[in-house]
Structure 1
Amino acid sequence: MDIDKPDISEFLAGAADFEQRMRTAQSDLAKAVVTGRSGDGTVVVMASGMGKLQAVRVDPKVYDARDAVALQTAIAEAVQAAADNAGRLAQQKMGPIEIALH
């Protein structure tokens, strides 16, 4: 047997460890809350680390302006920012995936 190559039990143990780390990361992401804010700060979106929308907060001053297009833009910016933050958190939690086959 070549000592440079892992045996099947080492491979299976590594796979089980990897699966557990991914399950833990997924659970952590589901519990985490990320936010996204519009460029003008009038809209804040909260989502889980998995990207599930939880809440949208709109500053009441946007109603005074009665500018539907500006509000739509602010909502889209906040949602995109929350999605970007969820993606960064997922990358931090999951890390790069390395698979080494010997």
Structure 2
Amino acid sequence: MNALLQQAQQMQQQMVSAQEELADARVDGTVGDGLVTVTVSGTGELVGVKIKKDSFDPADPEDLEDLIVAAFRDARAKSDALAAEAMGPLAGGLGGLGGGQGEVGPGGAPFGF
């Protein structure tokens, strides 16, 4: 029983460390040949938007809106992949300790943590 508790504590420490690394990571999503770049953290938090000067028609803001959304989706998909990569090995090692072996929630975080 002590070994199981020790393993759970070690997994929790590794999980916290992985989550901290993800919070510090930055991922870019770029669309329109670099017209719009969105930066998100490894946890999916929006941390920056860059728009090339004179890259859109002010009379048609919907185009710019669509580019921002597309760039965010691109960045978020990369962020989710990064989180799954970082958390996947930890989630797989939970066995019966969490929400099931290998089950992950939004952003790659294992259920139950």
Q: CA RMSD in A?
A: 1.5
Alignment partner, residue 104 of structure 2: none
TM-score for both structures, normalised by structure 1: 0.82
**Mapping of residues 41-56 of structure 1, within 5 Å:** 41-56=34-49
Q: Provide the secondary structure at the position in 2 that maps to 1:62.
A: coil
Q: Unaligned stretches of 5+ in structure 1?
A: 1-7
1:100 and 2:95 correspond? yes
Partner Cα separation in structure 2 for residue 69 and residue 52 of structure 1: 23
User: In terms of Rg, which structure is larger?
Assistant: 1
| AA aligned opposite 1:15 | A
Alignment partner, residue 79 of structure 2: 86
Alignment partner, residue 27 of structure 2: 34
**Structure 1 stretches of at least 4 aligned residues deviating more than 4 Å after TM superposition:** none
What percent identity do the matched residue pairs reach?
33
- TM superposition shift of 1:40: 4.2
Partner Cα separation in structure 1 for residue 64 and residue 48 of structure 2: 16
Q: Which has the higher contact order (CA 8 A, sep 6+)?
A: 1
Partner Cα separation in structure 2 for residue 100 and residue 49 of structure 1: 25
Match of 1:58 among 51, 64, 80: 51
* Alignment: residue pair count: 93
Alignment partner, residue 73 of structure 1: 66
Q: Provide the secondary structure at the position in 1 that maps to 2:55.
A: helix
Alignment partner, residue 3 of structure 1: none
- TM superposition shift of 1:41: 2.6
Q: Provide the secondary structure at the position in 1 that maps to 2:49.
A: strand
Q: Unaligned stretches of 5+ in structure 2?
A: 97-113
1:15 and 2:8 correspond? yes
TM-score for both structures, normalised by structure 2: 0.75
- TM superposition shift of 1:59: 0.8
| AA aligned opposite 2:63 | A
